Structure 1
Amino acid sequence: RIPNSSGRIWLGSYESPRQAARAYDCAVYCLRGHKAKFNFPDFLPEIPSASSLSPAQIKAVAARFAREEIPVKKEI
């Protein structure tokens, strides 16, 4: 949901639950910043002006972010 509004942003359909979760993480980061709850808190998007994006821009950025590979953490 868009803050202070009844509006919603449709993020689209994805090939896997992981991609859908990453799209959500990106969108909620754009809307609520670092204080939001994320599915993958260790892999947040790097979007300098995230809070100033329009709903259409958030949807596009979330789709791109969802399709990026999550880096694999190496265990020591």
Structure 2
Amino acid sequence: MSRRTLTRRFRDRTGTSPQRWPLQQRVDHARLLLESTDDTMDRIAADAGLGTSVNLRHHFHRLLGTTPAAHRALFRR
């Protein structure tokens, strides 16, 4: 299967590219951890595969339009 065909089929099924999908999965996992644990941002970033809290904040804001702290606060009310 060609790269173009793979990319097109992947996008049809997932709504995103093969390159972006893992990042979206990591941010989604971080989102769930923020909602369900009291772990630190560094711990959540490491558990989600984002490395550091700086990367977590950057990608979280870029993909979801909010900060991890603001997202956590929304679910702590």
TM-score computed with the length of structure 2 as normaliser: 0.37
Return the structure number with greater relative CO, CA threshold 8 A, min gap 6.
1
Higher helix share: 2
| Bigger Rg, which one | 2
TM-score computed with the length of structure 1 as normaliser: 0.37
